[in-house]
Copies of this chain bind each other. A is one copy, B any other.
Amino acid sequence: MTHPPFVFDQWANAHQQRIEQVLAQTLPAETVLPERLHAAMRYAVLGGGKRVRALLSYAAAELAETTLERADAAAAAVELIHAFSLVHDDMPCMDDDDLRRGKPSCHKQYDDATALLVGDALQSLAFECLVDTGAPQALKQVQVLANATGSRGMCGGQSIDLQSTGKRLSRSALETMHQYKTGALIEAAALLGAFAANETAPQLINTLMQYSQHMGLAFQVVDDILDATADTQTLGKTAGKDALQDKSTYVSLLGLDEAKSLVSHLHTQTLALLAAFGAQADPLRGIARFICERPF
């Protein structure tokens, strides 16, 4: 009996649909008090995005040989944290961006106060859905996610970013900023998926940490390349913002060609990391290609 060949697009589509349904069930209905807040939370989370973080959770769960059902809470939690960060980042006092995933951002569709509360409540909901499963490693999941979200993770990265605008950063300072700002949550996405299993070998966790460190970096370099080269319609968010806001990026620091070859180098390294694994690493290989080969 031979397995059918792995087709990443099919796998990604199926899991994107799955996480969309899981999120729709996790978020309180618009008919539940307070209705306006719940409507705004659903607006901010549902119906958009590539769900890269959820895909990572599912792919890591597959590597850890646990079921999709058990990985749902992990995938939902990381997407809820990601959505909360987008809502707050778009607010006037932060990046002041009117457009997100091709739609008015949350504070434009609703109002600033509601957007503030949407982000706050999405963060709580992420932790709530992790513990509601009662999974054996749920405490570890809460710990990893809280750490990746807070001042030594995503929020800290935003703060470093604010302090850095208009300054020319060294490459190492830029890497530190992005490790906090996006790398920590990408790593958490993978680890939470693996911790959905009853137990997880340290060696597996080690591979996933290296994988996600490479992918977090690649993801950001590609983001910088796209911001510099794609148009607003293609991106679904305002393009060319980095240059406009005089932000240090991998493109401004390395130039476009070297930025592209860094992505290609990270892709190769990542595939080497996974060489010891069989078909159960195919989703992680597919995600690596998807991240590194987004059209540019």
Contacts and interface: CB of A to CB of B under 8 A. Distances in A.
Interface of A: 28, 32-34, 36-38, 41, 84, 88, 91, 93-94, 111-114, 116-117, 119-121, 123-125, 127-128, 130-132, 134, 138-139, 142-143, 146-147, 149-153, 155-156, 158-160, 162-163, 176, 180
Given A117-B159, A121-B155, 13 more contacts: A28-B152, A34-B156, A37-B155, A93-B116, A113-B158, A117-B155, A120-B155, A121-B149, A121-B156, A124-B146, A124-B147, A124-B153, A139-B139
A124 B139 contact: no
A43 to B, nearest CB: 13
Contacts of A139: 131, 134, 138-139, 142
Nearest 9 pairs of A and B residues by beta carbon? A124-B150, A93-B112, A37-B159, A128-B146, A121-B151, A121-B155, A34-B159, A124-B149, A127-B146
Tell me what chain A mostly uses at the interface: helix, strand, loop, or mixed: helix
Contact of A132 (B128, B143, B152): B143
Contacts of A84: 120
Number of copies of this chain in the oligomer? 2
A123 B146 CA distance: 9
Contact of A125 (B124, B150, B159): B150
B143 A128 contact: yes
Contacts of A34: 151, 156, 159-160, 163, 180
Contact of A150 (B111, B121, B156): B121
Contacts of A132: 143
A34 to B, nearest CB: 4
**Most chain B beta-carbon contacts within 10 A, residue among A37, A149, A158:** A37
Nearest to A124: B150
Given A160-B34, A162-B113, A28 B142 contact: no
A125 B146 contact: yes
A225 to B, nearest CB: 26
A143 to B, nearest CB: 5
A90 to B, nearest CB: 11
Nearest to A164: B34
15 contacts: A33-B156, A33-B160, A36-B163, A88-B116, A93-B116, A94-B113, A117-B151, A121-B156, A123-B124, A123-B150, A127-B142, A131-B142, A131-B143, A131-B146, A134-B139
